[in-house]
Amino acid sequence: MDKKQKVNEAKKWFLKGLRDGIPIAAGYFAVSFALGITARNAGLTWYQATLASLLCNASAGEYAGFEVIASKGSYITMALITAIISARYMLMSITLSQKLSPDVNTPQRLFVGFWVTDEIFGASSTVPGKLNPHYNYGLAICSLSFWALGTCLGVVVGNILPAVLVTALGVLLYGMFLAIIMPEGRKNKKVLILIFVSMAMSFAFSRLPYISKLGEGTRIIILTLLIAGGAAFLMPVRDENSPEKEDSDA
């Protein structure tokens, strides 16, 4: 593939990422609007809160950071809390790195890792074959710009809206995430089984003694390791060029 073809391919994937990021952007705008109210109550100005949303692409981690600011906690406390809550993104980044082509350079991989969120990871995981990093760039630019915009507006005008309406807006994110994973579940029965297993185990973890007292981020990490590890062991995905496949084809 020559340079012109690579540019056209990158443009095609970037535009697809922009289109696929529209529903994510809608959900992010609603959730970050409520986050902006939290930032305002913590004493942040609109540009401080907006900058925080541009640099911290994690709702739970950012909310925890605002709570630390409101309680006048230390920088060390904020760093530890946000690192623990957002540790699951490290697992997601590792997973996506396996979908990238070997010729994707380090700076591009770092951008993909920096822009990983639950929803962007979900959308990227459903891409068949190797993942073009420009698809992630399109997803991130479309969705995360509205994440920052929602935070900004939440600081400026959020307190004008009724609290019930702000809470209701947050429910949109869950519906949007289901819209990402369910189409893939309809096409692949194994994926559908894993979706329901994940939902059941997540509900159980929120009710079981001791485990339910763990932080949400910690529970997600444990669930990710258990479910992904179990799926990899029970339903391994064979490489197209693996010896096993070549032997079977022979």
Domain co-membership, 142 together with 18:
yes
Within-domain flag for 65: yes
- Residues 21-48 as b/e (b if ≥16 CB within 10 A, e otherwise) read bebbbbbbbbbbbbbbbbbbebebebee
Domain co-membership, 193 together with 168:
no
Q: How many domains in the chain?
A: 2
Q: Give the 3-state DSSP-derived string for the chain, with helices as H, strands as E and coil as C.
A: CCHHHHHHHHHHHHHHHHHHHHHHHHHHHHHHHHHHHHHHHCCCCHHHHHHHHHHCCCHHHHHHHHHHHHCCCCHHHHHHHHHHHCCHHHHHHHHHHHHECCCCCHHHHHHHHHCCCHHHHHHHHCCCCCECHHHHHHHHHHHHHHHHHHHHHHHHHHHHCCHHHHHHHHHHHHHHHHHHHHHHHHHCHHHHHHHHHHHHHHHHHCCCCCHHHCCHHHHHHHHHHHHHHHHHHHCCCCCCCCHHHHHHHC
Domain co-membership, 37 together with 117:
yes
Distance CA 97, CA 92 (A): 9
Which is nearest to 43 in space by CA: 158, 155, 153, 163? 155
Distance CA 225, CA 229 (A): 5
Distance CA 182, CA 21 (A): 16
Domain co-membership, 208 together with 109:
no
The residue among 142, 172, 202 that closes a domain is: 172
pLDDT in tens, 134-180: 999 999 999 999 999 999 998 888 667 666 666 666 566 566 567 66
The residue among 172, 199, 221 that closes a domain is: 172
Within-domain flag for 247: no
At 132 the pLDDT is 93
Domain co-membership, 88 together with 205:
no
pTM (2 d.p.): 0.69
pLDDT along the chain (250 residues), means of 10: 83 94 87 84 91 86 83 82 80 89 91 90 87 94 93 83 65 63 76 86 89 75 80 70 46
Domain co-membership, 24 together with 81:
yes
Domain co-membership, 214 together with 100:
no
At 175 the pLDDT is 64
Within-domain flag for 162: yes
Domain co-membership, 162 together with 213:
no
Within-domain flag for 97: yes
Within-domain flag for 129: yes
At 174 the pLDDT is 64
Within-domain flag for 178: no
Q: Position of tokens 């297993």?
A: 197
The residue among 172, 199, 233 that closes a domain is: 172
Domain co-membership, 202 together with 167:
no
Within-domain flag for 200: yes
Within-domain flag for 158: yes
Domain co-membership, 90 together with 143:
yes
Q: How far is CA 57 from CA 129, 182, 240, in A?
A: 26, 24, 34
Domain co-membership, 148 together with 225:
no
Tokens of 93: 């980044």
Q: Give CA angle at 57 (52, 60), nearest 5°.
A: 90
Domain co-membership, 16 together with 95:
yes
Query: Can you give the residue range of the structural domain that contains 224?
Result: 188-241
